[in-house]
Amino acid sequence: MEPLAKIFGSPARLKTLRLFLFNQNANLSPDDIAKRTKLSVVAVRRELTELTAAGLLRKKGARAAARYQVNPRFEHLAELDNFIRDTTSVRPQDILAALRRAGTPRLVVLSGLFVGIIESQIDLLIVGDTIEERVLATAVHSLEAELGREIRYASFATADFRYRLGVYDRLLRDVFDYPHRVLVDKIGL
């Protein structure tokens, strides 16, 4: 029971846990972890020390060259992985708030990891005419930091989206032919 008591304790730890559990084969440096979780390197090092002491992570190398990876022999790994996957979600309001910083979306569709399909081509589809791509990328990166996973997304202008929909574009078929969730529809699908 002692390792489990050490695992939970702060939002920084939860972000770090999500990152490692959703990317179990990843071999990450503290700087990589800080960048992907949007945490300070000091906070990341503190969490890495605790998670390594609990036995969840393995450390390879020393000091600046140190890299961390999930310990596949951790006795509670499967249960912890299931728990984190089942409890990790971002509220639709938070997704829309992040996307609205980039412009006015006319269509927002969630698929892939948002509906439980891991091997999907795309997780987030955004359609709008006034979307700033750089701001959109920043908004998606902030959502990635919360989820601990990379979000595959695509954005289209309305005219381009309608054309692609009309020619049965494969990417759009992968979204609309499989489970998905429409958050905003001002186009009238």
3-state SS class at 154: strand
Q: Looking at the structure, do residues 31 and 101 belong to the same domain, yes or no?
A: no
Count Cβ atoms within 10 A of the Cβ of residue 64 and give its class: 0-12 exposed, 13-18 middle, 19 or more buried. Answer: exposed
What is the pLDDT averaged over residues 152-174?
93
Q: Specify whether 110 is located in the same domain as 45.
A: no
Q: Counting beta carbons within 10 angstroms of the beta carbon of residue 46, is it exposed (0 to 12), middle (13 to 18) or buried (19 or more)? A: middle
Domain with 43 in it = 2-87
Q: Count CB atoms within 10 A of the CB of residue 156.
A: 22
The pLDDT value given to residue 3: 64
pLDDT in tens, 88-115: 777 888 889 989 999 899 999 999 888 8
1 pLDDT above the threshold of 50: no
pLDDT digits (tens, 9 = 90+) for 14-73: 889 989 988 888 899 999 999 988 899 999 999 999 999 999 999 998 877 899 999 999
CATH number of the domain that 178 lies in? 3.30.460
Whether residue 97 is found in the same domain as residue 181: yes
Amino acid at 156: F
Percent of the chain exceeding pLDDT 70 equals 97
Mean pLDDT of 154-163: 94
165: number of CA atoms within 13 Å, CB side?
Answer: 15
Same domain, 109 and 80: no
- Segment holding 55, helix H or strand E: none
The packing angle between helices 30-37 and 41-54, to 10°, is 110
